[in-house]
Chains A and B, each alone.
Chain A
């Protein structure tokens, strides 16, 4: 294999036809209902990019994230991380994988064990991977805490003694202990207030440059995804409905759902006239999904074809994929 000169285009992760079904109890007898959280989803993440994934709550973003982390197994489909399939790894191989893929979750208050000191939180993954001796581990921990701007005398403190921003920076430092190459940031800044959010976003961007990381940035907040990401995938009802480079996506929206999400972004300039959002609120039932295109009940452009036939995700221009029957022309 030859080393590609263009590292930006090297593939880091490739997921194909992922499906994940959950069943829920109806509360009436033993009858269970099932629904797809992720359906026939494929995506490719390139080395060194920030891949944004946006969608409203319940669309399957986090399920996708946890499958890519190996925390949940997909029902079908494959996930190739640098050519290795993650979906059927043994537990020892999975442990190896933890070094490469790490994660930062949404809630910095709940995602840290309240009974562990900061040293214990940081040290645990190093001990699991057999990295030692203790001095070496301390050195790694201190250099990471320094990177995220947490004073070294915080080592013996507990999470509750930190502010929200400090906690999330600690979560980021913790995720970096094993020098991973790929970070899944699942709503990593959503629980923070706006000033702290900006601080953490900047930290994430700096770390990405310094440590040559690749991010999957999952959020329901399109304005942050747009700011952070190189490419953006819009997810609806367990599927990707539109995927493009962020500049292409701002210029040339093809899916009505993406359009609605962009319109829902608050506009800081009061002189720009506000366009009224034209889709109806309310996600359809996951248990009884609408036939055809899942978006048709909320879509102002829906035709008979949309009600009957689910659209495939297809490429309409280079790197711009849309799943809509009406995607031939940009939406006005």
Chain B
């Protein structure tokens, strides 16, 4: 098991390098010069030249690549062009709030979605099932930013429960989580996976055995069926967790909440190359970490995988 985890972590390095290179070239293909964006339309050529030189932008792309790769190898993400502070420090401040949002959002939305999925499977073909199916189809079809805007309209403008702009210091921290979490819950991504996985398991022979044993309906649903349906569900939760890291870009922008996603978007706006590279790399690393974690949890929950791994 441990060698398997190590193998996964080592194999993540080339993936990260690939992401790093792709981002490196992609940002340089965006039209617009960082110096011009930063200094504004009234900057003189002299000012622009000084700026370019001080940030290493006057070097050739090849030279810049070598510097960037050196940084990648040593873990130095460079200095932000727009904030003039180390990228790693900026990310370090923003990251906890993004991870917090992703974890809280994924946990709450998963519990609710799995509950609804089990209910739908238990009431298959009857009205709760049909209703849950309609809701989850709608939730899954709507883009996150659209749901987010509706959450803002209803909970912030109409009801005034949550702030419209979350990154003000006077707002209690928990309130900044409510809006994005509600948006994640309304996506209802897990409902269908849970339902179909449950229905598949309910057809299995061991469920019939459990009935013959006299196991209560509740225990059949939660102990026997859900326990076995968990593998695809956990895989899906892991996928949701990974995409929540990237999804933070949308949620943090809609709710104006500080975090790594907002850092990335702001960096793209001002062409802050080192910052874009750094945040994109960290988001990719988080997604890979979430995937590895999922595989480990799946392996641990399934006795068939767990035991073979030990021996």
A-side residues, CB < 8 A to B, are 66, 69, 71, 94-95, 98, 102-103, 105-107, 110-115, 117, 124-125, 128-129, 158, 160-161, 171, 174
Contacts and interface: CB of A to CB of B under 8 A. Distances in A.
B304 A158 contact: yes
B215 A124 contact: yes
B208 interface: yes
B205 A129 contact: no
B205 A110 contact: yes
Interface of B: 204-206, 208-216, 224, 227-228, 302-304, 307
Nearest to A126: B213
A128 B208 contact: no
A98 B214 contact: yes
Contact of B214 (A66, A113, A115, A128): A128
Contact of A105 (B205, B224, B227, B228): B205
Given A98-B213, A124-B213, A111 B208 contact: yes
B224 A103 contact: no
Given A158-B304, A160-B303, A111 B213 contact: no
Nearest to A117: B303
Contacts of A174: 209, 213
Given A98-B213, A174-B209, 9 more contacts: A98-B212, A105-B209, A106-B205, A113-B209, A113-B210, A114-B303, A115-B227, A115-B228, A125-B213
A105 B206 CA distance: 9
Contacts of A117: 303
Contacts of A112: 206, 209
Given A113-B224, A115-B227, A161-B307, A125 B208 contact: no
A71 B209 contact: no
Nearest to B209: A111
B267 to A, nearest CB: 46
A110 B204 contact: yes
Contacts of A71: 208, 211-212
A160 B304 contact: yes
Contacts of A160: 303-304, 307
Contacts of B209: 103, 105, 111-113, 171, 174
B308 to A, nearest CB: 9
Contacts of A110: 204-206
A59 to B, nearest CB: 19
21 contacts: A66-B208, A71-B211, A94-B214, A95-B214, A98-B213, A105-B208, A105-B209, A107-B205, A110-B205, A113-B206, A114-B304, A115-B227, A124-B210, A124-B215, A125-B214, A128-B215, A128-B216, A158-B303, A161-B307, A171-B209, A174-B209
